[in-house]
């Protein structure tokens, strides 16, 4: 698909726009900790990004928004269906310790009827790619929206994604493309996600309650989290917000009879969650390997990122190694998407800025609040585009293979 502006750029113009893009990102908080020093904010760098927005089919962009609230309701319904979850996850839990431990908590609460708070907040991001298996003619319905996953834990980048549109508008204006800059769709993801937190806190009905951000020890993408935290404060400064490491909870928190966590004398409600990723699944036990394996991707259970995906001949090799062992059930065979290819520059620290063939994945953020069967809040919040080179099999921003981007609708 043709880029939003004529590329490549003349070198002197490219160098100037790239330099300004880096400075704009640094000045406006589109930054992250350096991977070499992930525990310190003393030295930060701009977030890797595309130089200009990448083209996205307008019809598919709005289609992804139209179904978001329905996926919230689907996840809500599934999370309350113990028998369904047990039947679907029974085989994979035998070989996925992380998934099993999550379900064990869920099952203990369900079977023993352990009292939990009725107010539940879900923050989700549904990810899609633009599949060109049927052709690349945008004037027809041959390009289709294909869902990659529903993130219920790793639903980040609302903060940086919201700011990326501002960055791209700035770059386009510097390139004399103000008309294109003004047409980019606004993403209000971080503000809308913050509204979900505020509404859940209000419904909880305890003005001493605090919002607890549980974070990993290594948190190089802390600025994205801070964007969300500060947006919550902007909406309601009376809400206490604290950040703690997972190890801090183990060492310094406790649960009283009323099921509230006491943490530095602040009351924080427990958020129960169960992470499930849905794809087009095929049972692998006894499955006859297809002749054309290039049309499939093999996912390693919940670890479907950062090098845990297998492609092409690697699928055959892995399944031959496993044989008929029951660990085969821990893998998912997924249709391989033939993504829409675009042209763009990537701006990354200490790397040459080169024009590349790239593919994009769009993420739609959403928030849902439930109170038993009732759903008082169900909101589609905004979007983020992540883009990677065609040669990269992995598409994870956290893993360093993708950069943030924003859509130019065509």
347 close to 21: Cβ distance less than 8 angstroms: yes
Reference 167, options 362, 29, 354; nearest CA is 29
pTM to 2 decimal places:
0.88
Distance CA 272, CA 376 (A): 18
d(C-alpha 397, C-alpha 153), whole Å: 15
Give pLDDT, residue 118. 82
pLDDT < 50: residue spans in the chain: 265-294
Give residue 264's pLDDT: 55
Closest residue by Cα to residue 25 from 159, 146, 119, 152: 159
The token duo for 83 is: 């028998």
pLDDT for the residue 289: 33
- Give the pLDDT of residue 270: 38
Please give the structure tokens belonging to residue 163. 């700011």
Instruction: Tell me how far CA of residue 51 lies from CA of 229, 270, 342, in angstroms.
Output: 27, 41, 13
pLDDT for residue 154: 64
CA atoms of 8 and 378, how far apart (whole Å): 43
Is 65:236 a contact under the CB 8 Å cutoff?
no
What percentage of the chain exceeds 70 in pLDDT?
84
* Per-residue tokens: 154: 């790793």
d(CA 302, CA 279): 11
| Pair 9, 17: CB distance under 8 Å | yes
């Amino acid at each position: 698909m043709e880029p939003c502006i004529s590329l490549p750029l003349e070198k002197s113009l490219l160098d100037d726009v790239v330099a300004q893009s880096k400075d704009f990102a640094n000045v406006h908080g589109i930054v992250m900790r350096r991977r070499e020093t992930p525990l310190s904010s003393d030295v930060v760098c701009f977030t890797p990004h595309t130089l200009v927005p990448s083209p996205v089919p307008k019809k598919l962009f709005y289609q992804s928004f139209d179904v978001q609230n329905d996926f919230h309701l689907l996840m809500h319904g599934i999370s309350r269906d113990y028998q369904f979850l047990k039947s679907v996850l029974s085989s994979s839990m035998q070989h996925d310790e992380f998934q099993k431990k999550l379900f064990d908590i869920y099952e203990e609460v369900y079977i023993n009827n352990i009292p939990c708070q009725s107010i539940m907040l879900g923050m989700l991001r549904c990810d899609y790619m633009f599949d060109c298996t049927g052709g690349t003619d945008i004037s027809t319905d041959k390009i289709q929206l294909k869902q990659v996953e529903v993130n219920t834990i790793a639903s980040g980048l609302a903060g940086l994604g919201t700011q990326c549109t501002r960055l791209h508008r700035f770059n386009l204006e510097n390139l004399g493309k103000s008309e294109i800059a003004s047409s980019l769709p606004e993403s209000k993801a971080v503000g809308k996600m913050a509204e979900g937190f505020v509404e859940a806190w209000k419904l909880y009905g305890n003005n001493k309650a605090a919002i607890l951000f549980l974070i990993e020890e290594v948190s190089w993408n802390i600025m994205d989290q801070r964007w969300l935290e500060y947006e919550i404060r902007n909406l309601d400064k009376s809400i206490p917000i604290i950040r703690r490491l997972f190890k801090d909870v183990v060492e310094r928190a406790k649960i009283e009879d009323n099921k509230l966590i006491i943490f530095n004398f602040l009351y924080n409600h427990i958020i129960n969650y169960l992470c499930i990723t849905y794809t087009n699944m095929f049972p692998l036990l006894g499955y006859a390997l297809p002749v054309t394996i290039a049309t499939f991707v093999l996912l390693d259970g919940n670890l479907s990122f950062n090098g845990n995906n297998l492609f092409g001949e690697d699928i055959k090799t892995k399944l031959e190694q496993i044989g008929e062992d029951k660990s085969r059930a821990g893998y998912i065979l997924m249709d391989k998407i033939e993504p829409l290819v675009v042209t763009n520059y990537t701006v990354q620290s200490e790397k040459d800025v080169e024009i590349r063939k790239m593919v994009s994945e769009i993420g739609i953020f959403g928030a849902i609040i439930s109170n038993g069967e009732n759903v008082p809040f169900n909101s589609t919040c905004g979007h983020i585009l992540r883009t990677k080179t065609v040669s990269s099999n992995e598409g994870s921003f956290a893993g360093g293979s993708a950069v943030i981007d924003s859509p130019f609708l065509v």
